[in-house]
Homo-oligomer: A and B are copies of this chain.
Amino acid sequence: MVNYFSSDFKLGILGGGQLGKMLLTETQKFDIYTCVLDAAKDAPCANICDEFHVGSLLDFDTVYNFGKQVNTLTIEIENVNVDALEKLEHEGIKVYPSSKTIRIIQNKAKQKLFYVDHNIPTAEFSRFAYSDEIKTAINHESIGFPFVWKSAQFGYDGTGVKIVRTQADLDTLPNVECITEKLIPFKNELAVIVSRNVNGDLKTYPVVEMEFHPEANQVEYVICPARISEDVTKKAEGIALKVAEAFKHVGLLAVELFLTENDEILVNEVAPRPHNSGHYSIEASYTSQFEQHIRAILNLPLGDTSSKVCGVMVNLVGDENYTGNVVYENMESILKMDGVTPHIYGKKVTKPFRKMGHVTIVHKDINEARKVAETVKNTIRVISS
């Protein structure tokens, strides 16, 4: 086998943001040589990898030329040039996740059709080449208000997702390829991270519970383990495994799920990489999701996904009233609390709801952890100087 733990092996990462940064913690631990590509010269990964390359993740030549220099290529964000990845695969570069998987996931319409084709439960949807066509569908009463509108391409962190209740809402939508989904009243949003290595070995992380920020449509708390019944847990894990196997995925696959009011589980969407819903694992799990992603794409044995302690994660997002050089107000107060670990991503400028970091709270008792998490949330503020 290749000796990953020597400089004759190079790992490439597309994207130098916070997920890349947390992956680098693990490559540093294993002394794996890393090359990172990002469009921003001051990206969080810029100073902490072996080679940092500045360039667009969406430009064919940039991604192709970057990929040619490495042995194995992975991503920390899905919005990359997939044609370049496909060419690299044909030329023998190991690309995980595969271009095929990323191509499906990049487009929400394709992603939904994939679920249908593989008998994976998901919310009813309609597909439109342009948002304009939704109006016709409404006139023919094939769909009705309210519904969820999702841009097919480049949705990320809740951008490109809107709840449409009225004709007026409808008129504000960009006229792009999109899907509409039935607005499902759900009890709970859950997520399961599945890890699968090149051999096809599979391990799932515990089911987590997600609480969303009402306005920003971003996760506010991730709670591990989810406070749900054994039956629901089994059902959620089963569906997540089915999705990972359908993709023949290599690496981590974060599967976001809705738990409906009648305990039905529907796949919302997936991310083929380490995910916000797994950040708690750095402090709480025997193997962090970032280490597990590295193990999976290098075809190493998968680590233990169980937890040492319970964990709750709080996202640190920019206060909606501040834009400018970031300041973390009351950082010292949260550092006084036991089991509290802040992660600061290193973005210089804060904007309303921008993900600037996260805080993990661990405790032997999940309810205690959840209480402390609320105090953390109400104490620290991400503002500007």
Contacts and interface: CB of A to CB of B under 8 A. Distances in A.
Interface string A287-308: 0000100010000110110001
Interface in A15-69: 21, 24-25, 28-31, 47-50
A346 interface: yes
A5 interface: yes
Interface residues of A, number: 45
A286 B339 contact: yes
B345 A31 contact: yes
B325 A6 contact: yes
A332 B198 CA distance: 14
Interface string A334-354: 011011011111101000000
A148 interface: no
Nearest to A325: B6
A239 interface: no
A328 interface: yes
B344 A5 contact: yes
Interface in A307-338: 308-309, 325-328, 331-332, 335-336, 338
A341 B28 CA distance: 13
A7 interface: yes
Contacts of A1: 332
A331 B3 CA distance: 10
A304 B338 contact: yes
Contacts of A14: none
Given A25-B29, A29-B342, 18 more contacts: A3-B327, A3-B385, A5-B331, A6-B385, A24-B28, A25-B25, A25-B28, A30-B342, A31-B344, A47-B49, A47-B50, A48-B48, A286-B338, A286-B339, A301-B332, A303-B338, A304-B338, A308-B362
23 contacts: A3-B328, A5-B328, A5-B331, A5-B344, A24-B48, A25-B28, A25-B29, A29-B344, A30-B342, A30-B344, A47-B48, A47-B49, A47-B50, A48-B49, A286-B338, A286-B362, A291-B341, A295-B335, A301-B332, A301-B336, A304-B338, A308-B308, A308-B362
